[in-house]
Amino acid sequence: MKTKLIVAFLLLIATGSTAQIKISRNTPLQKLINVEMAINQLYVDSVDEGKLVEDAIRGMLKGLDPHSSYATKEEVKALQEPLNGNFEGIGVEFNMIEDTLMVIQPVVDGPSEKAGIIAGDRIVTVDGTSIAGVKMSKEEIMRRLRGPKGTKVRLGIRRQGFDEELTFVVKRDKIPVKSITATYMLRPGVGYIRIGNFGATTHEEFVTSLQKLQKQGMNSLVLDLQENGGGYMKAAVDVANEFLQNRDLIVYTDGRERSEYRAKGNGRFRTGTLIVLVDEYTASAAEIVTGAVQDQDRGLVVGRRTFGKGLVQRQITLADTSMIRLTIAHYYTPAGRCIQKPYVKGQGEDYAQDVQNRLRRGELMNADSIHFADSLRYYTLRQHRTVYGGGGIMPDYFVPLDTTIYTRFHRALQARNLVLNANLRYVDDHRRELQQQFRDFETYRQSFEIPQSVIDNVLEEGEKLDIKPSDKKERQLTIHYMKLQLKALVARDLWGMDEYFAIMNESSPMVQEAIRLLE
Amino acid identity at 249: L
Helical H segments across 199-251, by residue range: 202-215, 233-241
| 322 vs 316: CA distance, rounded Å | 9
CB-CB contact of 167 with 203 (8 Å): no
Q: Taking the CA atoms of the chain, what radius of gyration do you get in angstroms?
A: 27
Per DSSP, helices labelled H in 85-232 are: 111-115, 138-145, 202-215
User: d(Cα 291, Cα 301) in Å, to the nearest integer?
Assistant: 9
* Contact between residue 515 and residue 443 where contact means Cβ atoms under 8 Å apart: no
State how beta strands 311-317 and 220-224 pair. Answer: unpaired
CA distance 52 to 30: 16
The residues annotated with a catalytic role in the active site are 284, 295, 309
Question: How many beta carbons lie within 10 A of that of residue 171, not counting itself?
Answer: 14
Which ranges constitute the DSSP H helices of 85-179? 111-115, 138-145
Question: Which DSSP symbol is given to 376?
Answer: G
CA distance 262 to 327: 22
Q: How far apart are CA 296 and CA 240, in angstroms?
A: 11
- Nearest Cα to Cα of residue 115 among 174, 169, 160: 169
* Distance of alpha carbon 240 from alpha carbon 257, whole angstroms: 23
CA atoms within 13 A on the CB side of 215: 8
Q: Is 251 helix (H, G, I), strand (E, B) or coil?
A: strand
Q: Which residues pair with 69 in a beta bridge?
A: 325
CB-CB contact of 459 with 482 (8 Å)? no
How far apart (Å, rounded) are the C-alpha atoms in residues 359 and 392?
16
Residue 217 to residue 190: CA distance in whole angstroms = 8
Tell which phi-psi region holds residue 322, choosing left (phi > 0), alpha (psi between -120 and 50) or beta.
beta
CB 61 within 8 A of CB 45: no
CA distance 234 to 318: 23
